[in-house]
Structures are given as structure tokens and as C-alpha cells.
Structure 1
Amino acid sequence: MKEKSRTINPFSMDSINPEELLPQQGRVTANDEAVLVIDGHIQHSRFLEEGKIYQIVEPRLVFVMEGHADLCINLQDWHLEKGMLMVLPADTIVDIKKISEETRVVAIIFRKGVELPEESVLTVSPTEADRLLRMIYLVWDFMQVPPVRRTVLRHLLQALVDNVQYIRDTAEKAAADSIPMRMQETFRKFRRLVHRHCVRERSIPFYAGELNMTPHYLSSVIKKASGRSVMYWVNRATVQEAKILLETGGLTGCEIAYRLHFPSASAFSKFFRREVGTTPRKYREECG
């Protein structure tokens, strides 16, 4: 039986007529600065479908108003529920696993001039959610005013991003109260390095060298900061890379082993089975 594979689909508003969103997406407004969707029904959109993988072209914020969804964002699995906010910079990879029928979102897509920090998923308090939505509704109002007040609108969009950054910084500070700031920063740098290099580098000495630490000290810091070992994070990232190749590339086991710099297909298969609990072939068949 021929195995199915999935492709990574670029998701850009430049290829979508906003009017096509209206039947399924509640209220939509768009101009050269941004696209704003209120009460969007993602599960009814032909532009975002379960079981597909997308690469975000324009940065965007997505706030869950109702329902729940299971997504994989840049190789990390997330279960989203009401009150959670996704921060999705350009080039973020999103694998849509499942979206509940009742899911509703507010989304703002930035077309130019606005950059988002690295991807994150935040649980927003009811008070902060109310402030966030009031800012978004203010943006909506100014997007309706003819002619477009571009300077005002750009300042409002940047203020919205700054407010999200504040929410994120506050959440990180609360989570890190019992952990020294320097240790948290080291953990963030380590995660970025793993995301960038896990395809080629899977040894503690490599990451320790990149961070100017001894392997023993790095292991100690990561354990204290995350409760997990260095190799847990390295293997986790490697597995997610392998899953994407198994699901999208149509590559053989030998080709995937080569892409991920394993010495052989059997070494890759042994690693994958140890980490996932099934063989690469069985995983691909289940995905197909």
C-alpha cells in the first residue's frame, strides 16, 4: 500500500480574499496594515483544516474565546482552551491536530511593520483578557474609519503587541519566582539552540560549549530550571523533527536517518521506538 505524506502549506493572507472568510468567520475587516477576525469559526474554514501543516507567513495573535483545540506549534504540542492566547511570529509551523466544533477565536494578522517575539502560548486571566479584547475592538473601530488613519492604527497595533509582551513577561516572572533569572535566561537560550541545531547536534558538550559552560553545570542548570534533563529536550525536539519528516516528506527511513544525521536507518528506528513507543513505519501508517 502506498504511504501517504503531508505537505507544509504556506498560510498567507495575500492569497486569501477576506470576503471569502465572511460566511464562516463571523466579522472580518482588512486593510494594508492588518486583518482582524472576530468570532472566527476556524473549524469551518477551508483555509485551515484539521490534519494539515501550515507555515505562518505573516505574524499573528490568536485568542481562544470558546472551545478547545490540539495543535503542534514549532514542534511543541499544545492543548488550547478558552482564555488562551497564541503568539505566532512569521515562519511558525502549525500542525492542526483537532479543533472542537464550538471553537471561536479572535485573530489579528499583521501585514507589515509589526514583529512578534518568539512563539508562545499564554493563559490569560479574565481581567487581562477583557483589556486585550477592548484594545482589539478599538483597533476594529479605527479600521472602519475612512480614510484609514495609518499612523494611529500602527501605534494601536504596536500597543497591542506591547501589551501582549507585558502579559507574557508577567507570566514568565510569576513562573520563575522560585528560579533565578539567570537560570531562566540560560534555559531559554538552550531551548533556542536545541530548536536550531537538534538535527545535527545531540550531545551535551555541544550545547554546553555554545553557552560557555561545562557539561555538568549545564545539566544542573537545565534540571533545576525545567525539571527535565538536557537530553530530554534534545530528544524531544529530534522526535518532533522526525515526525514532521515522516508525515510530510515521503522519504524513506534511510533518507530520514540521513537528514537527521543518524549513522543508519536502524539507529534512527531504534531511537524513534525508544522515544515514541512505536517504529517509524507504524507511526507513518497511523498518520496516513
Structure 2
Amino acid sequence: MSKKENQSGRQTVVNYGLYGESYEPRLPGFVHSELHETRCQQHGWVIRPHMHTNLFQIVLIDSGSAEFTHHTETAQLTEPCLITVPADVLHGYLFSQDVKGLIISLSDEYVGKLFPESPGVLLELSRMHLIRQSTDPAAFRQLSELAWQIHTELYADRPERGLALQSYIGLLLIAVYRLGEQRLQDELAVDNRNVRYFRQFQQLLKENRTADVPINPLSISAYARRLGITSVHLNRVCRSVAGLSTLQLIQDELLLEAKRYLHHSSYSIAEIAYLLQFEDASYFSRLFRKKTGLSPKQFREQQRTTSPAGIDGESDKTNIDKSSITELARLES
């Protein structure tokens, strides 16, 4: 094995051929497979963080469990899964003693020669993949069967063994590539749906200003029902597109309206709270101060100081009917 050192001379990364063996470059056609218990038991079921300079590995866990470390991240593997680990990736395992499965090691050159005209496949395989049985049972079953066929073929004395191995390994790696591509397409589809929902949500916020029967502006569930999704789903949409929760976006929209009223009308603070459907004017004032650092009164005075001509309306307006509210909101939108 070899060890990389940091500037202080401390050993930081162990570089193995196969784990526990001295590092040496592998032949271009190197293919190796072994059961987990063959090597893990020798090391107390602990495979410490390490990396392989020119080996691509396929790790199959059929039963048992493991803690998988990848760079600084840790994943608990409590169900059957398959992991692909490209070369030069720091990784380690803590296996349960009842773990069953195998690990296949391939030289980088071997993988490259399988797909000489398919750079997209090689690019996808340069990323680590974790495929759990529960995520796609059919795909996992196919991968597991191919991994065991590779293992069996490697140790069987059969004609054209090399050709058979190329076929099985190629099929397994193509299956991993396709899963990666499908996941990317699914993520793009989710992103597109999220953007559509988010734009519809924004439109609802605007339309709610002048609606004859407006949505309670602080009711996330009411907006979600109008969109045909759950409140949890709407919150995920808002966070994925805008990086803010649904409540934060609703509050920001309400405060924008509040600022317009404070700047362009002479409605009292209580009247503005009523216009914005706050049941409690004091809650409106607290929220406004929390978001802006100023009370509504201080904000209005500040606006008058900087733009005295910006205030219109009558100062003695105290009785607000529905038509005046709707008309003012329409003019302000």
C-alpha cells in the first residue's frame, strides 16, 4: 500500500491495490471478485477509509447491513443495495458480521475498453452510485443477478470465459448508466413541475389582492388546495425554486402590500391590517417590525420624510367597504 501525506507529514489517505494489499498498478485486463466474508472477516469487518488509484469497484450487499463512508459523508445501509466506486474516491465500510454479498474490482483500463465510443457512459461511471433495493426493486434484482453471474463466470472453467465476462460486466455497467440517466431525467421533470407550481402560486398571491372571496393570506393549506397539492408539497416547491418556505413567501408578499399602503394611502395601521386580512393588528405590527426592523408607523414616517408627496387619500377614512378595498388593491397591483 502507499500513503499520501499532508504538509505536516501526517499520513492521511491509504492507497491500496485490493484492500489490505500493497499498492501496485493492475494489468489492463484485471478483473477480481470475492465474497465480503473473505476479506472483511480478516479486518474485523472494518474497511477503513482508503482509495484505489486505478480500480473501479462494484459492491453488492444482499443481506446484513453496513455503514458506508464516502469522503466526509456517511450512509447507513440497512437493506440490499449496490454501490459503484470509481477510482480515486475515498471510501470505507463498517460491515455487520452477517453481511452477505460480494465486491468486484475492475481496472480502469478494462472499463475504458468496454466503452471506447461511449464517453457519456464513462462520464456517468466516473460518479459514485448507490442503488437501494427499495428505490427500484426490478433494477436492483437485475444488477444483483449480473454481479453473481460475473462472480460465477470468473471462477468457472468454461470456454470463452473472457468474452462472457465482458458481456456480463458490460450489461451491469450499462444498467448503472441507464439508472443514472433516468434519475437525471426524473430530477429535471421534478424541477419543471416545481417551477410550474411555483409560478401558479405566485399568480395566486397576486390574484388574491382583488379576489371577491380572497384566500386567507396566512393559510398555507388554502393555497395548496387551490393548486391541488398538499401543504408539505407546496413547501418543498417553494424551497426548491426560491430557497424560502411557503410562509416566508406569503409574509414577504403581504409586507410588500403593507408597504404600498403605508406609502401611498392614509389608512391607519389597523385598517391596513384589516385590508391584508390580519385578524390581529398587533400581530401585523410585530411581523412588520420583525421583517423590516421598523414599526409600520416608523416606516410611514420614514417614507414621508424621504417622499412627502407620495401620500394620498383622506386622513379621516375609517369606514372601509368591500368596493373601496377592492378598488384600492386593483389600483395598487
TM-score by length of 1: 0.49
Structure of larger gyration radius? 2
Normalized per residue, the structure richer in helix is 2
TM-score by length of 2: 0.43
Structure with greater contact order relative to length (CA < 8 Å, sep ≥ 6): 1
